[in-house]
Structure 1
């Protein structure tokens, strides 16, 4: 394989968000903060093992992810695909479309790249419309696994892909997604792992001219789940919709670092992540970065994160960032909010004869249903609403 072009160990600083603590620790040095400036490489050694002080790791339990910093010795997951005619497993290094867009942003992603000698390929032919969702069931069987999956939507194709993760594993996963001109692709990644599972994933997508990509991250199960989407709206008139839903229990860490790059002109982006948390040490992390590049004139973009903390001891970290490099945009904004139950809503419901327990249930369901309803798969919608009900069992003030 031809050696890939690699970013320098430290990218030159531009107009980045400043970390005063890091400056104090290393006076005179401003660390890379913005997502667009971070080093990228296929070689894990170029990143080294994280310490937890790096901007992209400081909210993550690094010590517990240590098994993912080295290449897997076995295959800890199995695959079942509903539409096998679209699925193959033979993309070695240097074979297109593998590597057409994807370059790892951290050590786990680089490890997954090197550990996947034969990447998997899910390809939707040009002009084909797939009526039913293509379901890829990924079952953990108790070991370490590295994985690289290329999902390619051909020109003017239409498809929905659902990735379902269950069982237990120590799983490093790369998704390379290419949405070609005029295509419409929806991807739903559902994490239903057992409590001891570790899952760190990098989802990188390029959306070409007049194409549309809708991306969902749904995280309920797993001890540590870190799913980081990176979507580039490369083509003129492309659209990107990034949605997330999570419910963190006691001891769980659920994380998403979202990057939406408006590169082409007249692109549209919408980011909405919602989460609920209950139980001691339940922890969620959402970091949202939107970059509107110098050529992205006419862009319309908005990102928001909302979190509902249901019990004492739960914590939600929420950090939105917005960079704009052109003055000719249709609109851009971001928002973040984390809070507890709205006492007025509870009072309103209880005043109409609804018990406090049922009132709390209705408030949470109403809060999270906004994301559930955007998943246009009725059976999955019903399943997620039932899962939320199950999570709410036993929640008290």
Structure 2
């Protein structure tokens, strides 16, 4: 764990970010926590300053960060060779009995659909009215004037209604959990940030939120309750030894809840602006979870293969690989600014080898399952409830096959990206009206 520990100390303790001026001209200290807030600011100067300042700070440690990452990669290679695996990727995927073809197919299918991201970037550029689009424009909201407030009691009811396609038994258990003390709801002094679900056999799950009445907070509630219900069903139907679930499956249940909630909200949206906001929310989920995480997975694969082949990779080589991937994934509409080439230095998941691809496969499986549930009804719901109840009684690939999604085939990812295509087309049509 030494490379990871050193990386954590550098990025969490040693890196000090300068201050930048906010939209009102006030000096505000930049931090990783504030970075996304700055990147969502409507003032382009603020976004550019935050972007250049953050990566300028990482640039000062680029050689140390490269050495940390390469030490981690060499550790992965040593462990795989000591256990007689052909590659480090084969070693780490075998832990969950995942065929390497799953990894390859994910990258291949996403490559096939990268032109959709290029199209989305063109839409973003036109909607924002920019002559050119930069990496610091990615998080800027396309839809203006939307500030939907959802009090927690209303959010509980909306989430429950949104889960109606999963049947009355699921909805009742979900509602009972939301009303039954499973959730620590508000922000409090000394309370950790973010949102989490902890499921400890045999008791009820525990969900931590920091709820602030936003639409995103309601999606977070649906997401975390998806994790909670996964644990609840597994605990009911499996002995302790099989009651957990691997990360390959963990994000399926949570993301499926978000998909169903989004479908419900889009269907009941009565005005164009709200509908556009929801469609863009979905597109951003795809961009961030399928395309971006697959790009990370491809970066991991490339650097491990190069080092396994005897190459030495320093900061410049890592940045060149990362730059080329950004160009390929974002396309000609995006100006791939030089500072983003160092983003590999701020991704902690690269110290969890061959892990991030599971975010993309999990999201794709969730979208595919949600489409089956909405179109087939009861048969798909029965398969899905059995999936939630299976825990670790089978390998993840087999559990998903039983639910109706075969991740050894490229079709689930392809189906999910067709949903992305249709969502993008609907947003394009609405913006043209």
TM-score (norm 2): 0.29
TM-score (norm 1): 0.31
Higher strand proportion (structure 1 or 2): 1
> Which protein shows a greater Rg?
2
Higher helix proportion (structure 1 or 2): 2
